[in-house]
Amino acid sequence: MKVTINVKLVNSKYNQAYADKDNEGEETEDNIKYLWEDEFEVQGNVTNFKVTNNTTYLLKGLYDDDDEFCFEIPEMTVLECTMDNGTQTLIPFSKKAISKTTKVDTKDGFYFNVHLKSVKEIVNPMEGVYILKDDYPQELLGFVNDDEEE
């Protein structure tokens, strides 16, 4: 099945009452509902989809000098997509950053929507990884591009 992940950072300053009163319920330039949005399709045919709450995620990668790193990140929600060839794609989120999730079925799969809170800064070092800055390994922060508009 086809799985599409949609992630939105909800603006904590958004005021629905103001939108209803002054703009027929719609957001305006000075009253934006979402600060940013990511949407991507999990590559391949997903045969099993599972949400694991309150787990530890292993953030693995390579430093610039090709040395490996591995950090345990606690209190994560991980979306696990098992592919038809047996491989797994993991999409991790800091549990404390999630305000709500919804699943919307389509004819050939589904959309999984994740709304994130904008109260604390989120580090997004690569597509599909969303970790609160407070939980992100401090020694890796220098490697993250900080080009997101806050």
Boundaries of domain holding 45: 2-143
Place 121 in a pLDDT band, splitting at 50, 70 and 90: very high
**112 lies in some domain:** yes
Place 60 in a pLDDT band, splitting at 50, 70 and 90: very high
**Based on the structure, what is the number of domains in the chain?**
1
Q: Answer whether residue 42 shows pLDDT above 60.
A: yes
pLDDT for res 149? 40
Average pLDDT over residues 92-111: 96
Predicted TM-score (pTM) of the model is 0.86
Query: What is d(CA 31, CA 22) in angstroms, rounded to the nearest whole number?
Result: 11
Average pLDDT over residues 109-130: 94
**91 lies in some domain:** yes
**32 lies in some domain:** yes
Q: Answer whether residue 54 shows pLDDT above 80.
A: yes
Q: Answer whether residue 146 shows pLDDT above 70.
A: no
